[in-house]
Amino acid sequence: MKKYDKLKFKHSQNDGVFDWGTNRSELFERFYNTDEILDYEVAESEFIMIIREDKEFIDAYNSLAWLQMEEYNYGSAQSYFSEAYEIGNSLIPKEFRGKIEWGHIDNRPFLRSIHGLGLSFLLVGEFQQAQKFFEQNLEYNPNDNQGIRSLLIQSYIACGEFKKILNVCHLFPDDILADTLYGKVLALFSLNKIEEAQITLEKAFKYSPLIAKELISKKHKPVLNNQPGIITVGGQDEAYEYWKRMGQYWTNPNIIEFLKNGINK
């Protein structure tokens, strides 16, 4: 069996990059080809084979985890994501406080493992554990090419940590993601900052008006999407998906009335 270069983490005080060595190109090609396979069992078998050949191949663990997520096997997914995370995290010095940015392609497997691990906790209601990994992900990659801020805001809402939501929104002032726009509205309203909430709702309504309408609606109809996994910004599919995951936090009669008044202005 081929012996691969040891995975390393090279860093300065300010940033770090994973070094995968020089002899994994064929293995990466196999992995990317496997990632395109639609047959669950075939893909699973190939990812397992890749791990047998290279126990440090983080993305093979990640992909096995995503296969489990698709089957709602969140505990099994969490186990795979945890293995992937530990491979990378074990190489990072405890005193390291720099960035591990998405822009360096060799960092992406590790960043994907943090994302996946946090999500696996979020989906089973372990919100504080989810926050731990989402916060770490944002600290390492503050440009947030992965959309982690949305997931972090979701976990903060679940825990009623509204000031922390505003801190996240402050980092992304021009953001138009649904969770950022409406998460800020909910946070401001919950903190009794009504005037600021009204101004923020105007911005949210400008970019995604259908979300507000979906939140106050008494009937919610699933939206068929011709492109699974793709959400239309400002579209009805975005509105329905937002209500589906966050609508339970928008049921207070006072905030419903606030939304209605904002829509009718």
Neighbours of 88 (CB within 10 A): 21
Residue 30 C-alpha from the chain's centroid: 26
- Is residue 223 scored above 90 in pLDDT? no
What per-residue confidence (pLDDT) applies to 2? 84
What per-residue confidence (pLDDT) applies to 194? 97
Query: pTM for this structure?
Result: 0.94
> Considering only CA atoms, which of 148, 65, 74, 61 is closest in space to residue 109?
61
Q: Above pLDDT 90, what percent of the chain?
A: 91
Q: How confident is the model at residue 43 (pLDDT cuts 50, 70, 90)?
A: very high
φ/ψ of 19, rounded to 5, equals: -115, 110
- The fold adopted by the segment(s) 1-146 is 1.25.40
Check the CA dihedral 150-18-73-79 and report its sign. negative
What per-residue confidence (pLDDT) applies to 263? 85
Mean pLDDT of 191-195: 97
> Considering only CA atoms, which of 156, 160, 152 is closest in space to residue 133?
152
Mean residue pLDDT of the chain comes to 96
**Sequence spans of domains, the chain:** 1-146, 172-265
51 and 60 Cβ atoms separated by less than 8 Å: yes
CA 150/CA 171 separation, integer angstroms: 12
139 and 152 Cβ atoms separated by less than 8 Å: no
| CA 116 to each of CA 37, 48, 88, 220, 236: distance values in angstroms, whole numbers, following the listed order | 20, 18, 14, 29, 27
